[in-house]
């Protein structure tokens, strides 16, 4: 296979609870992943033996890009003399808790497994993906799931029915920094953090977010995805949607999204689990 074009989906965390910090520095989590129809597009072209990555977001460095790391790792573990030109067209905000980088890495592993004829099973690809990030196996599996462990223990779940407005305040949140802030807080706000353990540190980090949340949280169920910065509100009809759109600041991005039951990557499945 010479060329592939993949739609790489985002996810939201319907809830996210930090259970405890583990001795290895990671954190035990409980979460529910929901795939949504907000996508990056990745184009793959077979080449002889070199991996080249370009991205529409010029702030993303080629060799620090998780897609480059995923392709290089896959080539190394399978010990093949193969290569690819990879072009990423970004739409999912980075540092936003929507899993864009993890999804791109998963898309790369699944696409190159197909294109290079590696014949890896889904479980084998998920193990490779785990080395790149705890969310990568979710996207390789390509189904909504309850997540445990550090996020890699997956149990299938049904999709929600609601439509969603994804609110992206143009804030880059480093996952590592958010966990450090969480670990250093004196006392978690259990009431504020029922939906997501990172709400308290996120609000304390940004006055803009604090003002938005305090102004609107009584009238709308505002949820946080991942470690932020993206939030989401569920809605069921046109009237509800219009009310939500009116509260979003003009300088923030938003996406009208629908839940997915399966990732587009499922179309590449040809090997057993």
Question: Which residues belong to the active site?
Answer: 11, 135
Strand stretches in the chain, DSSP E: 3-21, 27-47, 51-55, 83-89, 145-148, 153-156, 163-168, 223-224, 231-235, 253-257
Cβ atoms 159, 262 nearer than 8 A? no
Q: How far apart are CA 128 and CA 73, in angstroms?
A: 8
Q: What are phi and psi of 248, to 5 degrees?
A: -80, 125
Residue 86, C-beta contacts closer than 8 angstroms, at least 6 positions apart: 42, 43, 44, 45, 51, 52, 53, 54, 67, 68, 71, 108
Give bridge partners of residue 52 from the DSSP assignment. Answer: 85
- Cα distance between the two ends of the chain: 22
Token pair of 60, please? Answer: 């993303």
């Amino acid at each position: 296979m010479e060329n592939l074009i993949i739609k790489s989906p985002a996810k939201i965390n319907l809830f996210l609870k930090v259970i405890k910090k583990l001795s290895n520095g990671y954190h035990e989590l409980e979460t529910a992943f929901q795939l949504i129809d907000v996508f990056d597009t990745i184009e793959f072209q077979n080449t002889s033996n070199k991996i080249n990555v370009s991205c529409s977001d010029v702030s993303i460095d080629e060799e620090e890009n998780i897609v480059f790391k995923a392709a290089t790792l896959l080539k190394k573990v399978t010990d093949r003399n193969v290569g690819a030109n990879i072009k990423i067209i970004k739409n999912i905000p980075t540092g936003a808790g929507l899993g864009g980088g993890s999804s791109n890495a998963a898309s790369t592993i699944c696409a190159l497994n197909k294109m290079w004829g590696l014949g890896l099973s889904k479980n084998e690809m998920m193990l490779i993906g785990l080395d790149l990030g705890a969310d990568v196996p979710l996207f390789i599996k390509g189904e909504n799931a309850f997540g445990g462990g550090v996020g890699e223990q997956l149990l299938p779940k049904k999709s929600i029915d609601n439509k969603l407005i994804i609110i992206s305040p143009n804030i880059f949140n480093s996952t590592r920094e958010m966990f450090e802030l969480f670990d250093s807080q004196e006392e978690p706000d259990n009431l504020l953090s029922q939906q997501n353990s990172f709400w308290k540190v996120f609000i304390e980090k940004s006055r803009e977010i604090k003002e938005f949340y305090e102004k609107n949280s009584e009238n709308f169920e505002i949820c946080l995805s991942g470690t932020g910065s993206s939030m989401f509100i569920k809605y069921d009809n046109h009237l509800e949607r219009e009310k939500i759109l009116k509260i979003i600041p003009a300088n923030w991005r938003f996406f009208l999204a629908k839940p997915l039951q399966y990732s587009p990557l499922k179309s590449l499945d040809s090997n057993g689990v």
